[in-house]
Amino acid sequence: MQDSTRWGLSLGLKFLKVVPFMTMTIVILTILSQIATLLSFFLPLKIVILLGSDGVPMYFPPSFSKVDRDILIIALSIATIGFFLLQILLEKIIQVVTNKATLCLLKRSHKMTLFENQEEIAEASYQRYSRALASGVFVLLSLLLLLFIYSEMVLVLTSYILIMSIILVAVCEFFEGAKEVLANSLSSSLRLMGGVGFFVSFAFLVVDFVYLTPPVVIFSIISLLLSRQVLNRVVKFVLDIAALYRQKTKLNAIFFHGKSLQTEQSVKRRSVWDLLEFSERSYWVSIALSEVLETLVDPKEVQAEWLQSTISNVAMLKVSYYKNSDLEYYLIKIYEVNRTSFALHESTLLASQQNNIPAFLWIGGAKIAKFYCSVYEFRPGKIPSPIETRQKIENVRLQLLKVELNESLVNLYTRSKPFLWQRVNEAFLKKLYSGVDGPEQLALVDELFLIINEINARLSRLPLILVNQDVNRESLWIPDGDDDAILLNWGRWSIEPIGASWPHDSESLDTLFKAIESGKDKRKDFLEISLSDVAISSILYALEQACDRQRFAEAVALLPDLLERVNSECEERRV
């Protein structure tokens, strides 16, 4: 709390020192905008009261009673629209002044471009800080006004805000993990407290009118509206400051001369890598195993060793555990928060009861703090040597061809993801024009556009196979005493028409065609396959991958072979 307050003050002093006039202008304009917003809500209430009265009520200002009722209604209606338009105009002016102030701040900082969207982040942060400052000033002015017209309401509001603040600080101090939970739901929690605070002030107003000595009605209406605005501004003030503090590293690097992005990023933060430290592993691994195995696992009986992973922000550990004096092995994966979808996609496949997948058996998943964790059976072994890697990769691809997908998994995938023939459409192929060099290549792309729907129709009739995009040496594992390789990473699996993901050179395609021939006994959908369509599937998949990596020249280079196979009926054979 002290750290964030101190940092917020230093950031504000920096803004006031570099652009004092523009900062104060934004604060004043923001306060005026908030007043205009308040009046645009307040005046309609007066209009409704006038519409329901025969004349001008006694509690209205005396000057109003001298004006004709209908004229007063029209005048107040025009004023309401005027304040609404004024609020819009003030917001536009605030945006212009903010842009100029941000440019001035960036010039004075004398920093090179440190990260993407640097100017946008600087502008949004400066505007957020100015808005937070304006909210604070507005709250103080509102409480000062309430002090004169309804001092008891000031006591209620300040007491409520103080009590809520003490409760929040106490909860964060005495309950482990409460600070993280509050940080993740800060906006909804504060807005809820703001709403409860308004009803507290409303309840006090009712009690005051029934049992105590209330102010005049018009002051009560103003007090109720102001209390709502005060609570809203307090909530927005806290949210703005919290949002700025989350950007502390970047803002320090942008605005402060003595701070660099590298030094600030080296500050230790709670992440999945903290859990992977040698001293931490056994504790959380035992928790994960206890949850998945539904038995109490002693951390002292667990040994966890690092296993190399090629997927960023996904860590793997090979775990040995003495269960009833028997040594058992497990593979545990833990995923950074931004890889949660990766983890869920992997567990969806491995928990689907799909047979013959070259993967370790998935036992279950657990949540360690905010990180998803998967537990698998494991067998000691090794990563294949560079010499045997190519053969092992081909064997895995051949094994995937034999996997006959169950209907429930295909239906689940169909409802969730597009197939190759649905992804590579005319809109997708427009990217190819970026890699065109000369009229000959342009003619090839144009020809592909004319027949892409026919190609996709042919691919949609092909049998479906399981595809894993992470078939590489580091993802392969050869268990001791076994010649077949296991794939460790399944976070990017997909279902595609046969041929997709298979290399499209002649030798590899011949291997694929022979595998289709030999697989007819096990897969009935292999009985009638156009081998040309299988080759087209392979090339089109490679074209999609090249486009996704912005290798458009490489994609265009695939077109002659693709178009030749589409147009040449003489090369088409039936299996």
- Whole-structure pTM value: 0.61
DSSP string, 453-478: HHHHHHHTTSPEEEEETT-SGGGEEE
pLDDT value of position 165: 86
Least confident of 70-74, 107-111, 208-212: 107-111
Could you tell me the pLDDT band of residue 331, with boundaries at 50, 70 and 90?
very high
Which of 83, 84, 60 is CA-nearest to residue 72? 60
Give bridge partners of residue 495 from the DSSP assignment: 466
Least confident of 82-91, 106-115, 272-281, 483-492: 106-115
Could you tell me the pLDDT band of residue 466, with boundaries at 50, 70 and 90?
very high
Query: Per residue in 220-267, pLDDT tens?
Result: 877 887 888 888 888 888 888 777 777 776 676 666 554 544 444 443
Could you tell me the pLDDT band of residue 270, with boundaries at 50, 70 and 90?
low
Residue 466 and residue 437 in contact, taking contact as beta carbons nearer than 8 Å: no
d(CA 247, CA 117): 13
Per 3-state DSSP, what percentage of the chain is helix, strand, and coil (rounded to 5)? 65, 10, 25
Query: Per residue in 118-173, pLDDT tens?
Result: 667 777 777 787 778 888 888 888 888 888 888 888 898 899 989 988 888 888 77
Helices 2-18 and 118-149 cross at an angle (nearest 10°) of 100
The answer, yes or no, to whether residue 569 has pLDDT greater than 70, is: no
Which of 183, 115, 151, 137 is CA-nearest to residue 33? 137
Query: Per residue in 188-231, pLDDT tens?
Result: 888 888 888 888 888 888 888 887 777 777 778 778 878 888 88
Q: Average pLDDT for residues 363-367, to the nearest whole number?
A: 89
Other beta carbons within 10 angstroms of residue 307's beta carbon come to 18
Q: Average pLDDT for residues 439-448, to the nearest whole number?
A: 91
Mean per-residue pLDDT of the chain: 82
Residue 425 and residue 501 in contact, taking contact as beta carbons nearer than 8 Å: no
Distance (Å) of CA 462 to CA 133, 308, 418, 453, 566: 63, 37, 15, 15, 15
Helices 531-548 and 439-459 cross at an angle (nearest 10°) of 120
